[in-house]
Amino acid sequence: VYAGEEPEINRLFRKMANMKASDLHLCVGEKPLVRHDGDIKPLEDFDVFTNEYLEKMLFEIIPEVNKKEFIDTKDTDFAYEIKGVARFRANIFKQRGAVSGAFRVIPYKTFTFEPPIISGNSSIEGIISTLLKDPRSRSVYIVNQDKKLTGIITTLIILKATNILKGKRSVPKDD
């Protein structure tokens, strides 16, 4: 909780949320970069960062325990939230002697759907079609609990088809 003005970085987070960007990248010598619709784009209405300015801006939001970790290891991860706007996963690190930050939006609400059933079996085509038509599917997590399907092979097929048809990059996570 901040008394008075909110942290400077919140301007960037609000801009990111308003344009529905998924990621924010902050590097010394660069303008802020956002991932929007799969493309990395600079935020032209912001200045190029100096190391001193970026470090001050980032340290304003790093929790105390993470500040110690960052000083000791030159890397830290934490979560940050602007109530009513969005939550963010944060990674602050030193790269080539300069501080950098990478942030990903974490949606307040996750969306689920039941895959279409055809003749008692889940249809891969139906699942892919549903994913492709759903405007909420910026990030897709697939959990396969059907022992009749071939596990990771089915998941890879779904991811491959989604990547091809939607032009997005997906990485399978084997839990």
**Tell me, what's the pLDDT at 119?**
45
State the pTM of this model: 0.64
Mean pLDDT per segment of 10 residues, for the chain of length 175 residues?
A: 74 92 95 92 94 96 95 95 92 94 83 52 58 58 57 63 59 48
Q: Which residues contact 22 (CB under 8 A, 6 or more apart)?
A: 35, 36, 104, 105, 138, 139
